[in-house]
Amino acid sequence: LFLKIAKKRLGRWKVIKIIMNAIISVKIYYMLKKN
């Protein structure tokens, strides 16, 4: 049971990390485009 919950949380964390990385990439792209 614990392993299942840990896997679920890890999966969600991975998704959050991917989304955050995408947002950062977009911000950097816009900053570079402005200059």
Mean pLDDT by 10 residues, the chain (35 residues): 82 93 97 89
C-alpha–C-alpha distance, residues 33 and 30, integer Å: 5
Q: What is the pTM of this model?
A: 0.60
Q: Output the pLDDT for position 27.
A: 96
The reported pLDDT for the residue numbered 17 is 96
pLDDT at 6: 81
Distance between CA 19 and CA 13 in Å, rounded?
10
**Residue 35, SS3?**
coil
The pLDDT score that the predictor gives to residue 8 is 86
Domain boundaries, the chain: 1-34
5-30 exposure pattern, b = at least 16 Cβ within 10 A, e = fewer: eeeeeeeeeeeeeeeeeeeeeeeeee
